[in-house]
Amino acid sequence: MKNLVGILNYRLGNLLSIKSAIEYLNYRCKIIDNLNNLEDFSCIIFPGVGAFDQAINYIDSNDIREKILYIFKKKKNIKILGICLGMQIAFDKSEESVVKSKGLGIFSGCVKKFNYELKPPLNGWAKLKLSNNSETKNKYSFLQDKRVYFTHSYYCQTEKRDEIAYIKHNNFMYSALTIKDNFIGLQFHPEKSGPAGIEILEQILSN
């Protein structure tokens, strides 16, 4: 068996489908309620599906924020993978927040609501496109034109230097995959994206 992957249970998200995808890749996987015993894990996953305020409230109510930032700043050998909502909570703030919850601030920028003309929530399949960066194209060429599944009403407005790939929906482009140090954010759901999603998960976990 490969390294141990932890899925943070902040009482939201499709935990079992992510766990099944990770175990399919022959990784040990454990659903966890906190970030204690960090030395046991090679990767921590923040799952998708749910509301920004609920996720942040759980994180702050259970003293998890500082532990997340500790991993990000001090434990570079542990990857953090945020999926959909798990990516969005890593930003400074979100227009979804009713009580103006403060995001984790790992990525600079705001999570914004799609224009009504795009008829949110957006859901379906789209091809990933690499951002226009030569280093990105070399290192992440495996992402190009991968068809992935997405379903969400908000998108991440981020700095282009952190954007690895994007999705184009009705001529509107937005971030699909962002990376900053050991934090990887996926706006799409790899666990629901068939063989392409499994390949992307394998590349992220193994590199």
User: Is residue 207 within 8 Å of residue 167, measured between CB atoms?
Assistant: no
Residue by residue, DSSP assigns 145-194 as T-EEEEEESEEEEE-GGGEEEEEEETTEEEEEEEEETTEEEESSBGGGSH
Q: Which of 43, 156, 163, 189 is catalytic?
A: 189
Q: Which residues contact 39 (CB under 8 A, 6 or more apart)?
A: none
List alpha helices for 46-150, DSSP H: 52-61, 65-74, 85-88, 134-139
Tokens of 95: 């227009």
Q: Please report, for residues 32, 49, 121, the alpha-carbon distance to residue 177 in angstroms, rounded to integers and kept in the order given.
A: 24, 17, 19
Q: Choose the catalytic residue: 152, 156, 163, 191.
A: 191
Choosing from 29, 84, 156, 163, which is the catalytic residue? 84
Report the DSSP pairing between strands 147-152 and 172-180: unpaired
Edge-to-edge order in the sheet of strand 107-113: 91-94, 107-113, 154-158
Q: For this structure, is 95 an active site residue? A: no
84 is a catalytic site residue: yes
What are the residue numbers of the active site?
A: 84, 189, 191
